A and B are shown apart, each in its own frame.
Chain A
Amino acid sequence: MSRSKKILLVVAVLLALVGAARLNSQSYAAEDKFLVGWIYIGHVGDAGWTYAHDLGRQYVEQQLPWVESIYVEAVPETSDAERMMTELARKGCKIIFATSFGYMDYVQNVARRFPNVLFEHCSGFKTADNAATYFGRIYEPRYLSGIVAGSMTKSNVIGYVAAFPIPEVVRGINAFTLGVRSVNPNAKVKVVWTNTWYDPATEKEAAKAALDAGADVIAQHQDTPAPMQAAAERGKLGVSYNSVMTQFAPDTIVTGPIWNWGPYYVERIKAAKEGTWKTGDYWGGMADGIVDLAPFGPMVPENVKKLVEAKKADIVAGKFHPFTGPINDNTGKLRVPEGTIMTDAELLSFDWFVEGVEGTLPN
């Protein structure tokens, strides 16, 4: 065998092994089942964003026995996404969920070519007759988790280990801080950016820095439980994110905002099957159950639980919106007048911090 042939052979074998490892858990269609597809940006094992979507998919399988689900992991936000969705549509998927922002234009392309297939794109803003968008108002449970943190801090310094300086993350920090200050106007929220979604060692280090600066509660926006572990090691408290992370630090985590995609998926798939599906741009909140608060830790006092439950009831009933004025920015300037509620457009382009946040934003 020549040298180059050997190399080719080796690479082929290794690639085949990698491929086998990645595609192992796909299931294939039975004739009479209603086929539904998902494409994920990450791995179902990320314990964060993709994991939460996959819990939703599993919920669908459990609730709707007539559904056969197919998912593809680690699909890049490139024309690969278009290829994978085309593949899923050809396989016979009736409805396809694309769970990352960057799939947006590819969803539009595939939707045009398969007018009889329905598409749902998470977090985007382009729709078509057979392509809807969906997202959740995670800032609502974030506000509530801020109430818990603000009630329980003793040092009045709360560390927020933040991912990237984009509106979604800024909105989360602001909602959290408004929650904190609603019960504790003296508390500050220190922001430490990691510029990662997914690097446990770095995120833990960032949390330690906030703890060194006097924080006694740590909140986070990344997909790993590492900041919670840092708080646990110092005997401090934590507010987790994405999914229930309690098992990683049971004596530390007071609560945390979580995604709950399952009910939305069930509802949309049912509608697709019954022919009642309509396009739209869905941004659901706690009232719909698409976002929620993780169960309280054992250290949360009853009065705090009651306070949070009452606010939650107000949010669910539509009586309270976390971004209701007066809201000052962190230089003290009034940005939202008394009684005014920020519009969705303003929330989606948030680029300033509310009063009480200490941190930097790129200009």
Chain B
Amino acid sequence: MGESNMLVSILAAAVSSGTPILFAALGELITETAGVMNIGVEGMMLVGAVAGFLASVRTGNLLLGVLAALLAGGLLALLHAFMCIALKVNQIVSGLALTLFGTGISGYLGKSMIGVPLPNHFRSVPLPALSRLPVLGPVLFNHDVLVYLSFVLVPAVWYLFYRTRPGLHLRAVGESPETADALGVNVFRTRYVSVVVGGMLAGLGGAYLSLAYAPSWIENMTAGRGWIAVALVIFAVWNPLRALAGAYLFGGVEAMGFRIQALGLRVPSFFLKMMPYIFTIVVLTVITASSSKQSSRAPQGLGRPYERE
């Protein structure tokens, strides 16, 4: 295989292996922008993965699987929202509990699904014309529909945040709930919606794993991707475009590490295993440091429950 082909395959792998992290990170980004910290992403992804798998196997319909994943992730997030927004529980504690709960319940629900093959899974759908472009075609336009959905979602979230009134309200609620409230924004409702949407996207990230990327159900199959997503949101300083860059970078460097081994270059595998983490942190930190102050900080109301006077 030529060098250019190798590069194309690394870039294509960057997109496909970055996608589950991207979905989860986008969800967490929306949640945190509204001022609620939800570190239960791993749990929500697992619940989404198992719900998507169960529904797809039972009904034979992948779209119903995706719906089930959205629903399951959203439901778990609703629990978190209730704890944090209504009961004003510590958000870190509730998020941790969510991860434990999600891990346990997904394992329980998935017991009957071990070793069951999925009758059908999301396969690559090369986009007409676009997929024939050199380099860009195989890298971006020869994936499954969930990947294309993520392509649409990222700019959509960016547009929502920075170009629409609801997006402005969302950011206001995260920055200063008191001010937003005084301006007539419903802080509680905004936070509920954003936490639930965040959970739905985490569920979708899980379903991408169980229905498209590694079509099967295995307990704990997210293997820490939820935590990577949580960290990524911070390094991407709550910016959807940087979250995309971070997710693909992570996937790409990982894919490159395996190819370095397969080509027989003598680099210790533990070092290669470290690379995606280091690379992503360094690159995103550099981007952040070199961009304007205004856009490089956390929402001021993050993690703080809002109480009306």
Contact = CB atoms under 8 A, between A and B. Distances in A.
A196 B103 CA distance: 19
Given A15-B100, A18-B101, A226-B214, A10 B107 contact: no
Interface in B210-262: 213-221, 223-225, 254-255, 258-259, 261-262
A356 interface: no
Given A6-B87, A243-B115, 9 more contacts: A14-B97, A51-B115, A192-B262, A200-B209, A210-B258, A213-B259, A226-B216, A229-B214, A359-B261
A247 B115 CA distance: 7
A340 interface: no
B220 A22 contact: no
B220 A43 contact: yes
Q: State the main secondary structure of chain B at its contact with A.
A: helix
Interface in A217-273: 223-226, 229, 243, 245, 247-248
Contact of B17 (A196, A201, A358): A201
Interface of B: 1, 5-6, 9, 13, 17, 20, 83, 87-90, 93-94, 97-98, 100-101, 103-105, 107-108, 110-111, 114-117, 209, 213-221, 223-225, 254-255, 258-259, 261-264, 266-270, 273
Contact of B264 (A15, A190, A199): A190
Contacts of B263: 213
A116 interface: no
B105 A202 contact: no
Contact of B216 (A6, A42, A225): A225
Closest 3 CB pairs of A and B: A209-B258, A193-B269, A213-B262
A229 B215 contact: yes
Contacts of B114: 44-45, 47, 51
Nearest to A206: B258
A206 B101 CA distance: 30
A113 interface: no
A75 B215 CA distance: 27
B262 A224 contact: no
Contact of A208 (B13, B98, B221, B261): B13
Contact of B97 (A11, A201, A209): A11
Residue of B90, B108, B268 ringed by the most chain A CB atoms within 10 A: B108
Contacts of B225: 201
A263 B262 CA distance: 39
Contacts of A243: 115
A143 B188 CA distance: 63
Nearest to B110: A45
Contacts of B258: 192, 194, 205-206, 208-210
Contact of A190 (B1, B220, B262, B269): B262
